[in-house]
Amino acid sequence: MSSLLAYLQSYLPAGPGWLPTWQLVVAVTATLNTASNVASLAPSRRLYTGMAAFVNPLQARTFAIWTLTSAAVRFYAAYNIHNKLIYDLALFTYLFAFFHFASEILIFKTAKLAGPAISPVLVASSSLIWMLTQYKFYVQP
C-alpha cells in the first residue's frame, strides 16, 4: 500500500504550497467533465437550466472543448507554477470561467446559482482569489 502511495505521489506537482496540487485536481476534474459533455447532453442541460431546450450536441461539444482547453492550461500550471506566462494563462482561465458563469446567471438567465452552477462559480472565484493573492509567492519578477 505504501509503495502505491509513493508511486502516485511521484506524479503530484513538486511546487511549494497547495496551489499546484489544486491546479492538478481542477484540471483532472475538468477533463472528466469534458468526457461527460461529449458523451451526453445531460450535464450541460443540468447546468444551463434556464435554456435547457437550447442545449444541443454542438453546444455541449463546444463547451467540452472549452473545458478541455482550460484543463490543459491548468495541467501546465500545476507543474510549472513559477512560470509567469503559464501562471497568468491559468489565472485567465478562471477569470473567463467566472465571467462566463456570472453572466449566464446574472445577465442571460440561462443558469441559476443553484445545483450544478454553484460548483464552477465557487471553483473559478476561489481559484482566482487564491492565485491573485499568492501571485508574488509563486511568480518571481
Residue 36 makes CB contacts below 8 A (sequence gap 6+) with: 42, 43
52 domain-assigned: no
pLDDT at 15: 83
pLDDT in 10s for each residue of the chain, 141 residues? 778 888 888 888 988 999 999 999 999 999 999 999 999 999 999 999 988 889 999 999 999 999 999 999 999 999 999 999 999 999 999 999 999 999 999 999 999 998 899 999 999 999 999 999 999 999 987
112 domain-assigned: yes
pLDDT at 119: 95
Q: How far apart are CA 65 and CA 131, in angstroms?
A: 24
Print the domain residue range for 98.
17-30+65-138
83 domain-assigned: yes
Grid coordinates in use for 88? 497568468
- For residue 111, the number of C-alpha atoms closer than 13 Å in the C-beta half-sphere is 25
43 domain-assigned: no
Residue 137 makes CB contacts below 8 A (sequence gap 6+) with: 16, 17
Domain count, the chain: 1
Grid coordinates in use for 38? 461529449
Helical packing angle, 19-39 and 57-79, nearest 10°: 160
